[in-house]
Structure formats: structure tokens, C-alpha cells
Amino acid sequence: MDKGSMNEDMDANSPEKKKRKKVIIIAFILVLAVISCSFMGLMYKTMIPISWSRFNDKRIEYIEDKLKLDLDSVEPIHYRHVTAQDHIADFDFKVDDYKSFMENDFHGKAILRITESDDKSSVKYWCWVEEMSGSYDKCFDVTFTKADDGYNAELFCYRYVGELSNHSKETTASE
């Protein structure tokens, strides 16, 4: 072996070069860990639904804006915002007078259909909330069921795929 190749081998195995390799490997692992954690955080935000059973003013304001409802006269029970393709949110609440609530506190585009049971123990509303894009509309079904102290309500909000006819958008109630 000649002296030139021996010096190169010693330089490759020098403590400074080994330390530099370790720093580069540790930096690479840290960058990879940060990217992985960021990706997992993004997946968590988009795949895991928002679910609330405690409500403050900020949460109430969020729900009011999302569903175009005024919630001053309701007792919210549970809200769940999901990321499914057509399903937007579920909202459970209690209200004293469903008819007054829907006439005065719904601020969406229109109530398209009202269906009452014969004994008036349950009432279902189908509402057009807002136009989201040319082929999507936000709608919801809310079912009021008679309880001892008023009405329990289950609201299911979804994207309606396809266009609602102009007739149904202008109708405020039927049946």
C-alpha cells in the first residue's frame, strides 16, 4: 500500500468524519419524524370527526354559522362534524316549541317539506340551507320527537348532490 491511500483511509475513519456522519443521520431522522408527525396530524384533523357534548359561546357560534340556525332557544346535547363525502354534521338538541323554532330561528334558504305523524308526536322538516356550488347544496333533515319537557331534535346535515328544482327551492312547506 502506498502512503496516499493509507492517509485517505485514515481520513475516512477519523473521529471528525464519524461525528459528522452521526449528526447528518440524526438530522435526517429528526426531519423524517417531523414530516411524519405533521402528516399524521393532518390525517387526524381530516379523518377524525369533531364531537362536542359541552358547548361554549364559540362552539355555539360555529354551529349557528354552519347550520344557519339561531340556537338561543335550544339546549344543545351533542354535535358531531364528520368528514364523510356527503355527510356534514349531526346535531342533537332539545327545544320547547319546534314550530316556533323552525319559523323564527332557521335562517337558511327554505323549508322544503314538513311531515307530521298522525298523533303529532313527531315532526320531520327537510330544509335547504345554502347553495355550496353549482352541483352541491347543503340541506338538512331535522326530526322533532315529543318528550316530557318539550321536543328532542335530531338534525342530520348533508350535501345534496344534484340541483334542487326551482319549484322546491321556492316552496316553504308542503304536506
82-135 per-position pLDDT tens digit: 766 677 888 999 999 999 999 999 998 898 899 998 887 899 999 988 887 766
Q: What is the pLDDT of residue 142?
A: 92
Q: What is the pLDDT of residue 123?
A: 93
The answer to whether residue 24 scores a pLDDT higher than 50 is yes
Task: Report the pLDDT averaged over residues 126-148.
Answer: 85
By mean pLDDT, which of 10-19, 22-31, 60-69, 157-166 is the weakest?
157-166
Structural contact between residues 28 and 58, judged by C-beta atoms closer than 8 angstroms: no
Q: What is the pLDDT of residue 9?
A: 55
Alpha helices in the chain (DSSP H): 3-12, 15-47, 57-67, 98-105, 166-170
For the chain, the structural domain boundaries read 3-47, 50-170
Q: Whole-prediction pTM value?
A: 0.66
For 36-86, write each residue's pLDDT tens digit: 988 887 776 666 667 788 889 999 999 999 889 999 999 999 998 876 667
C-alpha atoms less than 13 angstroms from C-alpha of 52 in its C-beta half-sphere: 16
CA 67/CA 136 separation, integer angstroms: 15
Task: Report the pLDDT averaged over residues 130-154.
Answer: 86
β-pair partners for 136 = 161
Q: What is the pLDDT of residue 84?
A: 63
CA 123/CA 118 separation, integer angstroms: 10
Higher pLDDT, 171 or 140: 140
pLDDT grade for 144, boundaries at 50, 70 and 90: very high
pLDDT grade for 171, boundaries at 50, 70 and 90: very low
